[in-house]
Amino acid sequence: MAMKETVSSLRAYFFLVAGLGFFFEVLPVLKQEGMPAVFMGLMAVRLFLLLGFVVVALRIQHFLLNASGFVKAVIGANLAYGIAFYFVLGHYINAYDAGQQLAYTMVGLAINIYLWNNAVRLSKELQGGKEAVKINETLGS
């Protein structure tokens, strides 16, 4: 039987993705001098996406109940960013580094798909419970 994520564990994953993305993606690029402008632009986009992950983590139950589209949009944008970053980076690195970046991109895609699937599942479960409460309140009055 597979382990099901809870709201709390999904919140932890969103914080983890944001933290790891900041410390291992954004900071190393910002510390280097002479980076091409395209990388600085990509890091600005990445910071914006990581902020989205933090916002989702802080209010995950609210978003899953009332605005699951926002959670899906943040994850979807992160998926698109990962793919775009791989192709942009491919023009600036050698074949060995491209292989490493491909592996990194694939892991990122897998994590984003995992988050997407669990967010959709939890949203349906929470919204189903919300509908059940509404029905019980209607029948009880």
Residues 32, 62: Cα–Cα separation, whole Å: 39
Question: What pLDDT is stored for residue 56 in this prediction?
Answer: 94
Question: What pLDDT is stored for residue 27 in this prediction?
Answer: 84
54-75 confidence digits (pLDDT tens): 999 999 999 999 988 999 999 9
Residues 109, 117: Cα–Cα separation, whole Å: 12
| Neighbour tally for 45: CB within 10 Å | 13
The structural domains of the chain, with segments of one domain joined by +, span 9-140
Question: What pLDDT is stored for residue 138 in this prediction?
Answer: 54
80-132 confidence digits (pLDDT tens): 998 888 888 777 766 667 777 788 889 989 999 999 999 999 999 888 876 55
Question: What pTM, to 2 d.p., does this model score?
Answer: 0.81
Question: What pLDDT is stored for residue 57 in this prediction?
Answer: 95
Confidence class of residue 1 from pLDDT cuts 50, 70 and 90? Answer: very low
Question: What pLDDT is stored for residue 47 in this prediction?
Answer: 93
- Which residue blocks in the chain are alpha helix, DSSP H? 7-21, 27-31, 37-58, 60-66, 68-89, 95-140
Confidence class of residue 2 from pLDDT cuts 50, 70 and 90? Answer: low
| Neighbour tally for 66: CB within 10 Å | 14
With beta carbons less than 8 A apart as the criterion, state whether 122 and 61 touch.
Answer: no
* Tally of residues, the chain: 141
